[in-house]
Amino acid sequence: MTGASRGIGAATARRLAAEGADIVITARTLDQHPTLPGSLRETAEGLRQFGGQVHVVGADLSDAHDRSAIVPRAVELLGRPVDILVNNAAAAIYQPLIDFPLKRRMLTFEINVHAPMDLAQAVLPGMIDRGEGWIVNVSSATAHPWTPPFSLGSLGATTGIYGASKAALNRMTNALAAECVGTGVRINTVEPRSAVLSEGAESLVGATLTADQIESMEEMVEALTALCVCTADRTGQSHVSLDLIAQLGIDVHDLDGLPMDGVGQARGQR
């Protein structure tokens, strides 16, 4: 699980741990981010209550050498190959494209496209050997192009580079899944239909959004978790969180795996 120091990554790691999975989490922030709450060690501490293995691997996904060590280290810590890879980490830099710096463009694609591909290539041999595995890449609605007349919303065209990287991720996911048909490996992307206010998203766009433009963390995590155990007929697709939940007819649970009522409260005890 990449990008697990906070936000969707930390929330999904918690849900998977609650469902009984052994977890390896990775991000740059081992102890404390200079401006945002959350760290890998905090996430790990919260996961250990569920009783499974919990391991922390600090890594900078923008550095090819750094990220090349993640999967071998995860295999070493778990004592077995990786069954599920969730590529959640992302670089989201929003600014006008007219003067968008090359360095920032390269960083965006390094983290949002090349890192997921490198990690997928690292886990796929083990998955193919076992005849089973799941890779879930977290995408974004910004991957979809606008058409005239342009209605860009509060962020304008500043999401263009970020969205382009996510479009590349969607296409790469689709092609990789096509190559892996028949191996037992399922590879998908999932994007929120509306904004999920993680700590990073809150700081970037929280003030610009209205209630109808937001979906809950639990909804996004429910869809993501479903793809971590999906069947072979659901591979190579770019899914939308709330649409997938409706298609599968599944209920939304809280991050501890407990059913939720209609107002977002957990019911009962696990």
Joined tokens for residue 266: 């957990």
Tokens of 154: 């509060």
pLDDT tens figures, 57-93 = 999 999 999 999 999 999 999 999 999 999 999 999 9
Q: Are 4 and 10 in contact (CB under 8 A)?
A: yes
Q: What is the pLDDT of residue 265?
A: 58
Task: Kindly list the domain boundaries of the chain, sorted by start residue.
Answer: 7-248
Predicted local confidence at residue 262, as pLDDT: 56
pLDDT-derived band at 35, boundaries 50, 70, 90: confident
Average pLDDT over residues 192-215: 66
Q: Tell me the whole-structure pTM to 2 decimals.
A: 0.91
**Lowest-pLDDT range, 112-116, 117-121, 149-153, 247-251?**
149-153
For tokens 């809150």, the residue is: 202
Taking CA 139 as the corner, what is the angle to CA 133 and CA 144, rounded to the nearest 5 degrees?
135
At residue 181, does pLDDT exceed 80? yes
Is the pLDDT at 2 greater than 90, yes or no?
Answer: yes
Position 213 scores a pLDDT of: 67
44 contacts 5 by C-beta, under 8 angstroms: no
Contact criterion met (CB below 8 Å) for 125 and 135: no
Q: Which of 47, 162, 164, 167 is catalytic?
A: 162
Spatial distance between the Cα atoms of 22 and 221, rounded to a whole number of angstroms: 17
d(CA 38, CA 10): 9
At residue 244's C-alpha, the angle toward residues 162 and 241, to 5°, is 35
Taking CB atoms within 8 Å and a gap of at least 24, the contacts of 78-82 are: 78/22, 78/24, 78/53, 81/123, 81/126, 81/127, 81/129, 81/130, 82/24, 82/123, 82/126, 82/127, 82/133
Q: Is residue 162 annotated as part of the catalytic site, yes or no?
A: yes
The C-alpha atoms of residue 195 and residue 198 are separated, in whole angstroms, by 9
Could you give the CA distance from residue 194 to residue 213 in angstroms, rounded to a whole number? 5
User: Does 199 have pLDDT greater than 60?
Assistant: no
pLDDT band at 270 (very low <50, low <70, confident <90, very high): very low
If one looks up domain 7-248 in CATH, what number appears?
A: 3.40.50.720
* Encoded amino acid at 111, one letter: I
Percent helix, percent strand, percent coil in the chain, to nearest 5: 45, 15, 40
Does position 269 have pLDDT exceeding 90, yes or no?
no
